Amino acid sequence: MLEIRNLHAGIDGKQILKGVTLTINPGEVHAIMGPNGSGKSTLSAVLAGRDGYEVTAGEVIYQGKSLLEMAPEERAREGVFLAFQYPVEIPGVNSTYFLKAALNEVRKHHGLVELDAIEFLALVKDKMKALELREDFLKRPVNEGFSGGEKKKNEIFQMAVLEPKLAILDETDSGLDIDALKVVSAGVNRLRRADNAQLVITHYQRLLAYVIPDFVHVLCDGRIVRSGGKELALELEQRGYDWILSERNHTA
């Protein structure tokens, strides 16, 4: 599904990713963990196509196509979804209008007929309930005045509506209390299928207790320095990132 090969990228002339290689197959959940400044956010930004990042080497193949050559909206239409660490407030843009427009762009891209307002509402109703979103939610402007938890739930709600092939969850657990974390995690887990994949980017192990990864990768200084199963996350939680860093320095 996704193949990242020797990816080098940076911003403002500063090299941040220094050769990331990672393969994600359908049905898999991968977690990328790493300390602050290791390049986690840069990786998600480059995959989603945010402006300002420069890829200096390497490539990213998504479903047989070069992902980096696609505009952000094309990536989204092809099934890449980024759940933002800091979802943006967009005053004046109604949530229904926004999400219906997004869904119909995706449907159009796949040759499906666009949904009208009634069909759209029927589709989203249960998904809203599952994420414990209030009924007036769709009438409000996108993320405006939402609490931190509501914003994160909204990201997962959008994911549920758009049904991406590859979901990238960027620090989705940050700012969530334990109840909200459970709701959000359950939402993510419900979307897990044999034909899609999830990439969970997180600093802490906390989220991984609920969204169980098949693989855990540790990102340090722009490279994946260690990969393992879900037990690696627990080990990191107990021993901290210094453990990996010092081990690495030792072997180097």
Is residue 103 classed as helix, strand or coil in its secondary structure? helix
The answer to whether residues 26 and 85 touch, using CB atoms and an 8 Å cutoff, is no
Tell me: does residue 53 bind other proteins (CB under 8 A): no
Token reading at 220: 């340090």
90 counts as binding other proteins under rule CB under 8 A: yes
Measured distance CA(211)–CA(214) in Å, rounded: 10
Least separation in angstroms between CB 133 and other proteins: 17
| Closest CB to other proteins among residues 32, 99 | 99
64 or 91: CB nearest other proteins? 91
* Nearest to 52, CA basis, from 110, 11, 102, 81: 11
Q: Which of residues 135-194 bind other proteins (CB under 8 A)?
A: 141-142, 158, 162
Residue 91 touches other proteins, criterion: CB under 8 A: yes
List 24, 33, 99, 199, residue binding other proteins (CB under 8 A) = 99
Find the shortest distance in angstroms from Cβ 120 to other proteins.
14
Which tokens hold the place of 246?
Answer: 């010092």
Bridge partners (DSSP) of residue 33 are 202, 218
What is the Cα–Cα distance from 96 to 117, expressed in whole angstroms?
9
Pairing type for strands 90-94 and 80-83 reads: unpaired
Instruction: Verify binding: residue 54, other proteins, rule CB under 8 A.
Output: no
Q: Which is nearer to other proteins, 175 or 228 (CB)?
A: 175
Give the residues lining the site for other proteins (CB under 8 A): 48-51, 71-73, 75-77, 81-82, 84, 87-93, 97-99, 101-103, 105-106, 109, 141-142, 158, 162
